[in-house]
Amino acid sequence: MTPEKRPFSHNLSYYEDMHLVVAKTRLSENVVRLDVSAPRIAEVRQPGQFVIVRLGEGAERIPLTIADADSDAGTLTLVIQAVGKSTKDLTSLEVGDSITDIAGPLGHPTELITSGRALCIGGGVGTAVVHPIAQELFSRGVDVMSVIGGRARDFVIFENELFRFGDVIVCTDDGSYGKKGLVTSVAQDILANSEIDIVYTAGPVPMMRAVANLTRPFGVKTIVSLNPVMVDGTGMCGGCRVSVGGQTLFACVDGPEFDGHEVDFEMLMDRLTTYRTAEKQSLNPNCQSRHASVSTHLP
């Protein structure tokens, strides 16, 4: 009997297996792909949206981007980078384990064009964020090209998945795979020699800032995903406060995607340092805090 067909029960333990892990793939040293059962969310999710995940009773609530979904199978794909204790706990799950709570979809869907050419730029786990965007653009008939990067070959993810929707160029910092160098170098050549209508980018904040600075002289609209600064995903904590076009907004409820040319990246990068000490403390077995692993959860 599938979880959504179970009769109501006041016994909460009755629902502990509602979100089963049905598949697990280790994508790199500290990045794991989990396919989990969440049929209602899988049916309605849109590119750019995320979910709030709580592993179990008393666990931290973590925002995670929906990297893919299968409405027929009723599953979501979550790509998790182990940063603090809570994300390490999630990446340690195995097939057959369960997640107590998955809430969503949350956030505004991606602003998608319906014709023309789009350039998707992903760095590290951010490649999983641009994947559903490229997928939906392709289904609309948009010509999609992707540029993705990682520190080395082992850190490049979702190359084959993106290749289904158009050309993919891979970059690595050490040259161990694809082109040696940064994604911005390849993107600059593409922008200089091709007609690009819009750029979508997700990854480390310095990379997204570099992409926005690169596209500004070309006058190409650039959508950045500011999910790396989200904490509780509801707008209550204020941890994801950002300045966009001179306005104070919240990445979780007003985004997570914004016009990269209007984002104050200096303020954003400063905010990213807020929880680094807490994250390190959360990995200490003697640390008593349950809520220390709170930044850079999303891919």
Of 119, 128, 202, the closest CA to residue 168 belongs to 119
8's CB contacts (< 8 A; 6+ apart) are none
Distances 151 to 172, 183, 294 between C-alpha atoms, Å? 5, 11, 24
Torsion angles phi and psi, residue 90, rounded to 5: -65, -40
* Weakly modelled stretches of the chain, pLDDT under 70: 1-17, 228-229, 232-235, 272-299
| pLDDT given at position 182 | 94
The arrangement of strands across the sheet holding 19-28 comes to 98-99, 19-28, 31-37, 75-81, 61-70, 50-54, 101-106
Q: Are 107 and 63 in contact (CB under 8 A)?
A: no
The amino acid sitting at 40 is R
| pLDDT given at position 85 | 86
Tell me the chain's radius of gyration from C-alpha atoms. 19
| pLDDT given at position 60 | 85
Q: Are 159 and 65 in contact (CB under 8 A)?
A: no
pLDDT single digits (tens) 5-31:
333 333 333 444 479 999 999 998 889
| pLDDT given at position 91 | 92
Which residues share a beta bridge with 123?
A: 149
| pLDDT given at position 290 | 41
57's CB contacts (< 8 A; 6+ apart) are 100
Q: Are 70 and 11 in contact (CB under 8 A)?
A: no
CA dihedral 98, 99, 101, 107 (to 10 degrees): -130
Long-range contacts of 133-138 (CB under 8 A, 24+ apart): 133/47, 133/48, 133/200, 134/162, 134/165, 134/166, 134/200, 135/47, 135/68, 135/164, 135/165, 136/46, 136/47, 136/110, 136/112, 137/112, 137/113, 137/165, 138/164, 138/165, 138/166
Side-chain-facing half-sphere of 216: CA atoms under 13 Å: 13
Helix axes 205-215, 183-193, angle to 10 degrees: 20
Q: Cis omega (within 30 of 0) on the bond before 105?
A: yes
| pLDDT given at position 165 | 97
Write down the architecture of domain 3-106 according to CATH. Beta Barrel (2.40)
Q: Are 95 and 24 in contact (CB under 8 A)?
A: yes
Domain boundaries, the chain: 3-106
| pLDDT given at position 1 | 36
| pLDDT given at position 297 | 45
